[in-house]
C-alpha cells in the first residue's frame, strides 16, 4: 500500500490526472480510453486513481463540466470584448462546432460528449442551465444596445439544431455539405 498523499500533492495530482485524461479522451474517445494507460502516463497506481475517482465515467463527467465552464467563460469574454453582431457570433459558433466535431473526439463521444453538455436540452436541469447561459449572452448584447428578436428558448434550440447536425453529419451523408449552410443560414435569419 502506497503512502497517503498530502493535500498539496492530491491537488497537484488531480490536475495532472485531469489534464492527461482530457488529452486521452480527445484522442481516443471514451470507449477506447483505459485507466491503466492514464495511470502509467501520470505515474500513479490504479489504487491511486481510485482514491480520486470512482471510475472513468466520474473522471469524464468532471472533465466535461470543467471544459463546459471554460468554454462558456471564453464565449462570454469574446462577446464582451468583440463587437460581433449576434448573427456573426452564432455563425462563428456554428463553424467552430463543425470543426470540433471533425477534430476532437471529446465533442462527439459515444458515452457523453462535450457538445451534448454544452447545448442539449434533454433534461430540465440542463435546459435551465442553457437558458441561463443564453440570458447572460443576451444581457451582454443588451448592454451594447443590441436587441435579439428570438427568445432564449429559440436561441438554445437553434444552437442545439446546429450541434445535432454537426454530430450526425456522417449519418446524413454526402448531402450534408450542401444542406448544412442552407440550414445554418435559415436558423440565423431568425435572430
Instruction: Tell me the per-residue pLDDT of 102-153, one tens digit each, with 9 for 90 and over.
Output: 777 666 666 556 666 666 666 787 778 888 988 999 999 999 998 888 888 8
59 — pLDDT class (breaks 50, 70, 90): very high
Q: Which residue has the cell 443590441?
A: 146
User: What is the domain extent for residue 18?
Assistant: 1-53
| Higher pLDDT, residue 119 or 96 | 96
152 and 108 housed in the same domain? yes
131 and 100 housed in the same domain? yes
Provide the b/e sequence for 75-110 (b: ≥16 CB within 10 Å). beeebeeeeeebeebbbebbeebbebbeebbbbbbe
- Helix, strand, coil share of the chain (percent; to 5): 75, 0, 25
Gap between the Cα atoms of 31 and 111, Å rounded: 7
Instruction: Tell me the per-residue pLDDT of 155-178, one tens digit each, with 9 for 90 and over.
Output: 888 887 877 777 777 788 888 888
CA triple 97-111-122, angle to 5 deg: 70
| DSSP 8-state symbol, 105 | G
| Higher pLDDT, residue 32 or 171 | 32
User: Across all residues in the chain, what is the average pLDDT?
Assistant: 83
79 and 112 housed in the same domain? yes
Amino acid at each position: 500500500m502506497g503512502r497517503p498523499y498530502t493535500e498539496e500533492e492530491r491537488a497537484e495530482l488531480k490536475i495532472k490526472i485531469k489534464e492527461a485524461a482530457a488529452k486521452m479522451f480527445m484522442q481516443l474517445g471514451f470507449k477506447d480510453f483505459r485507466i491503466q494507460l492514464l495511470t502509467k502516463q501520470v505515474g500513479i497506481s490504479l489504487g491511486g486513481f481510485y482514491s480520486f475517482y470512482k471510475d472513468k465515467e466520474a473522471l469524464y463527467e468532471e472533465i466535461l463540466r470543467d471544459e463546459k465552464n471554460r468554454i462558456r467563460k471564453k464565449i462570454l469574454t469574446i462577446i464582451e470584448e468583440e463587437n460581433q453582431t449576434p448573427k456573426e457570433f452564432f455563425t462563428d459558433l456554428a463553424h467552430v462546432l463543425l470543426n470540433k466535431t471533425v477534430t476532437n473526439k471529446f465533442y462527439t463521444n459515444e458515452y457523453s460528449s462535450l457538445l451534448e453538455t454544452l447545448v442539449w436540452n434533454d433534461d430540465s436541469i440542463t435546459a435551465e442551465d442553457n437558458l441561463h447561459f443564453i440570458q447572460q449572452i443576451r444581457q451582454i448584447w443588451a448592454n451594447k444596445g443590441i436587441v435579439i428578436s428570438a427568445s432564449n428558448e429559440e436561441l438554445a434550440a437553434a444552437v442545439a439544431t446546429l450541434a445535432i447536425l454537426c454530430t450526425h453529419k456522417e449519418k446524413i451523408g454526402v448531402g450534408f455539405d450542401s444542406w448544412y449552410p442552407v440550414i445554418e443560414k435559415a436558423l440565423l435569419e431568425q435572430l
